[in-house]
Amino acid sequence: MSASHAALPLRHFLLALSVVAIWGSNFVVIRWGLDVFPPLLFAALRFLLAAVPAIFLLPRPGVSWRNLAAYGMLVGVGQFGLLYLAMRSQISPGLASLVIQTQVFFTVLLAMRSSGERVQGFQWLALALAASGVGVIATHTDGTTTVLGLAMVLLAAFSWACGNIVGKRATGQNMLAYVAWSSAFAVAPLFALSLVFEGPAQMLGAVRHADAPAWAALLWQTVGNTLYGYGVWSWLLARHPAATIVPMALLVPVFGMSASALLLAEPLPGWKLIAAALVISGLAQNLLWPRVRARLRRGGAAMQPPSGG
């Protein structure tokens, strides 16, 4: 059996499952942290702890400073800065964990634009399914989710996708080191934005009055979500084909919405489940259909009778 079709060992499957569970449930942890820290300060502290002391322990990746800075700004300021601002009061954690996954489609479209490739039929179908799910959310905004919050998370997803394009140039590098070193470039802009928009009084007040659970929520962003999550995910990708590992990321919004319902009592009415089904179906279509199509073609070729001599 080829490596690309080998079954994932149970221990490795459980490691991958632990990562997606952490990434999904982390939206609840973010919500807890935002009860104490203002969003821009929270993001600044997160990336500060992601960079220090890791950059003193891990070698600098073999990419340009410009690449590191671009990735840090796009992911740190663009993705998480906007995500935290939206989650403060504009969107529920469960829906945020779902909508942010639209980065997959932004990434595909940006990659195809840069390479000149045309979007294929199955990708248009996948995009339509996901867009329908986002449309369902947009028509059911209420006190916990607003159109502004939805737009901010979509913009955060777009910034994440831009970061993915930049990060492709780091292929073959130690991704944990790449994340740590690039995080350093997000710290100063986020602190500056926090100083301007949140003010020194609010910043100092949050730090002074933060209790142990608030600091634990902040540390979890770094230790659990970044160091463990990216470290284990990169370790698995180095040992198994991406087509075996990456589909498990489809479970991130499942864990996100489930954790938000269980720990924050976020309601899960029918429209949310329909929206989740549409978005996740679109993600699955985009991610899995090429593998299914290839398998069907191989099966069809194997069934063809040999040509006569």
pLDDT-derived band at 5, boundaries 50, 70, 90: very low
- Residue 1 belongs to a domain: no
What H or E segment, with its residue span, contains residue 76? none
Is 303 a domain residue? no
Q: Which of 4, 44, 20 is nearest to 256 (CA)?
A: 20
> Over the stretch 198-212, which tens digit does the pLDDT of each residue have?
999 999 999 999 999
pLDDT band at 2 (very low <50, low <70, confident <90, very high): very low
Is pLDDT at 156 greater than 70 in this prediction? yes
Res 254 pLDDT > 80: yes
The band of 302, judged by pLDDT with boundaries at 50, 70 and 90, is low
Average pLDDT, integer, range 177-185: 95
297 or 232: which leads in pLDDT? 232
Contact 187, 51 (CB under 8 A): yes
CB 204 within 8 A of CB 37: no
- 121-131 residue pLDDT tens: 888 999 999 99
- In one-letter notation, the amino acid at residue 285 is Q
Give the distance from CA 30 to its chain's centroid.
13
Q: How many domains does the chain have?
A: 1
Tokens representing residue 113 in the block: 């634009």
Query: Cα 236 to chain center, whole Å?
Result: 17
Please give the backbone phi and psi of residue 241, each rounded to the nearest 5 degrees, phi first: -60, 145
Whether 280 is covered by a domain: the verdict is yes
Please report whether residue 302 resides in a domain.
no
The predicted pLDDT at position 306 comes to: 58
| 244: confidence class by pLDDT, cuts 50, 70, 90 | confident
pLDDT at 111: 85
Supply the DSSP symbol for 90.
Answer: T
Find where tokens 């080829």 sit: 2
**Tokens 């902040």 label which residue?**
218
Whether residue 255 has pLDDT greater than 90: yes
Which structure tokens are listed for 218?
A: 């902040």
Phi-psi region at 116: left, alpha or beta (left = phi > 0; alpha = psi -120 to 50): left
Concatenated DSSP letters of 109-164 = HHHHHHHTPPPPHHHHHHHHHHHHHHHHHHTT--SS--HHHHHHHHHHHHHHHHHH
State which residues form the domain around 181: 8-294
Give dist(CA 283, CA 44) in Å, integer. 30
Asked if residue 238 is part of any domain, the answer here is yes
CA-to-CA distance for 269 and 129, rounded, in angstroms?
Answer: 19
What length does the chain have? 309
Alpha helices, H only, 250-308: 252-264, 270-303
| Dist CA 160 CA 79 (whole Å) | 5
Q: Is residue 299 part of a domain?
A: no
Q: CB–CB of 171/67 below 8 Å? A: no
Distances (CA, A) of 126 to 120, 154, 192, 280: 10, 17, 39, 9
